[in-house]
Amino acid sequence: MDTLKAKPQTAKLTITSNPYVGFTPFGYQPFVNVKKIDNEEEYKINISPRSLANELNKLFEENNNKWIDLKFSFAKESSDPKSKYVIEKIE
């Protein structure tokens, strides 16, 4: 499964798995599987970056501590690879 990289353009996603660990060039990292809401394409996303993890954790807690079926928009503030993630809950 391909890894979805965040861009300044928003993608609307639904989480389809609980977190799991995958091996990357930087060692083991946490991932979740996601599906794009608009076209049903499936990806995985690395959930370790702090600005992403903090926001996803808030949504996780609001969702009764459940990952699966959590819906959110996924983007970066800018095209700079070090820019923060912009995450918002979708109802």
Average pLDDT score over residue span 26-45:
97
Residue 91 clears pLDDT 90, i.e. is over it: no
pTM attached to this predicted model: 0.92
Average pLDDT score over residue span 53-68:
96
Give kind and range of the element (H or E) at residue 14. Answer: strand 11-15
Question: Closest by alpha carbon to 37, among 4, 15, 62, 67?
Answer: 15
Distance CA 79, CA 69 (A): 28
